[in-house]
Amino acid sequence: MTTHSAHTKTFSKKISPAQHAVLDYSVAATFFAFGMLMRSRHRSAATLALVNGAMVLGMSVLTDYPGGVFRVLPFHGHRAGDIGQAALASVGPMLLGFGRDAEAKFFYGQAASEVGVITATDWDADV
């Protein structure tokens, strides 16, 4: 019989650092695209999307993984930034007063998918 920790260990090693980098840049692009789409329709959603996109992009270029430019942030340390950014995406709509608007669903969905990526990433992998 397989233990719970064996399942967790197997599951947590699905996403490599290189795959995580691709996902990070894709998430940044998604936030920027949504921000531009919302710029004339919903200023608060646009602002939050652009801030989230800048956070993801900033961490990505600083991380020591494939695709990182300056490589000053170790990959395993990138996790804390990902958690903070996912938290901002999840509570940002409420903090900015549009938590019940249709636009908030984008941020809630992004936060949920980011938690999935954080959980599935092999943070101890060789970069």
The three-class DSSP label of residue 63 is: strand
Token pair recorded at residue 102: 């249709």
Q: Specify the pLDDT at position 7.
A: 54
Burial (0-12, 13-18, 19+ Cβ within 10 Å), 91? middle
Residues with Cβ within 8 Å of residue 33, at least 6 apart in sequence: none
Q: Specify the pLDDT at position 13.
A: 64
Q: Specify the pLDDT at position 71.
A: 96
Residues with Cβ within 8 Å of residue 111, at least 6 apart in sequence: 86, 87, 89, 90
* Tens-level pLDDT at each residue, the chain (127 residues): 555 555 555 554 699 999 999 999 999 999 999 999 999 999 999 999 999 999 999 999 999 999 999 999 999 999 999 999 999 999 999 999 999 999 999 999 999 999 999 999 999 999 9
Q: Where are the domains of the chain?
A: 23-119
Q: Specify the pLDDT at position 93.
A: 98
